[in-house]
Amino acid sequence: MFDQVDLLDVTGPPEVFSLLQRDTVEPTGYQVVLAAETMDPVTTSAGVRILPDTTFAEVAHRAIDTLIVPGAVEVGDDRRVTALVDPAVVEWVRTLAPRTRRVASVCVGAHVLAAAELLDGKRATTHWSTAAQLAAEHPAVTVDADPIFIRDGDVWTGAGLTACLDLTLALVADDFGHERALRVARQLVMYLKRPSGQSQFSVPMKRPSTTRRVDELRHYIAEHAAEPLTVAHLAEQLNVSDRHLTRIFKTELGTTPAAYLESARIEIAKNRLESSDDTIGRIATACGFGTVDTLNRAFKRALGITPGAYRSRFRIA
């Protein structure tokens, strides 16, 4: 931690680790330690002060499993956002990184990793508002502003503020498997967001529902996407008429049942393209599209690219 650090960058990851422990009786092994240059309270960008658990100097003598580096920004009079990098913090990150199994940055914390030369020759992401700055200041880094997070070897970089949750869920999935991470995601009410490399500009499920029964129906669609779901079948799940179901979707989600179903299937397909070695044909079948041609048409309508092109861009190592 350091002065003016983004608050959610610091508090988001520990919340995910804590929810994982809540989900099981067995110890997860995670122990969150907040480190700063001194033991004085750190004032975050939100004005909230946080007490460190230890200092950088003390941590330098300990083994570290995961080093998470948050970020800070400055907003100019022209509303331009600039990532702030403290040289002293950079030197400490440079010192601590070799003692660490993996290093992760949250949001504009990628600028700190880049200044410490930990991203040289690697592909990395950051918040879209500072991606151009990162690329200009560190030409040895391949900056991709699209994904929510990127893993390149033992270095992970995350995008915007709330993407710290997606990034941390990915760390959990790496340690404990996808199912455990999914259960934590549901506790965070992130069941329509994935611990994966989806685009910062993805437009899957834009509007949250406002009633529990629609939430349950969305869960049902996600779990039965491979089946030939019809409006009549979905209406039966809510015990309403076909016409009333269409009105519910229009009011609650701002779309039609058919459009929502296609969006849900596209999201599931994106996840499989990013995280599995399944063939395009197998993914088309598993997600309810039936054929590769149908999957191709849906992807081109929604994303403007083919499933193969999407996989080549967002495939997670």
C-alpha to C-alpha distance for 107 and 157, rounded to whole angstroms: 8
Question: Which is catalytic among the residues 107, 145, 171, 234?
Answer: 107
- Phi and psi at 13, nearest 5°, equal -55, -45
Mode of pairing for the β-strands spanning 35-36 and 54-55: parallel
Eight-state DSSP code of residue 234: H
Counting other chains too, the contacts that 295-302 makes at CB distance below 8 Å and 24 or more residues apart are 295/269, 298/262, 298/265, 298/266, 299/266, 299/269, 302/203, 302/262, 302/263, 302/266
Calculate ∠ Cα 114-94-120, nearest 5°.
Answer: 35
The answer to whether residue 107 is catalytic is yes
**Size of the chain in residues:** 317
Could you tell me which of 225, 212, 217 has the C-alpha nearest to residue 289?
225
- Give SS3 for 54: strand
Q: CB-based contacts of 174: which residues, under 8 Å, 6+ apart?
A: none
264-to-4, 65, 219, 288, 307 alpha-carbon distances in Å:
38, 36, 10, 10, 15
- The CA distance from 57 to 93, in Å, is 11
3-state helix, strand, coil in the chain (%, to 5): 50, 15, 40
Catalytic site positions: 107
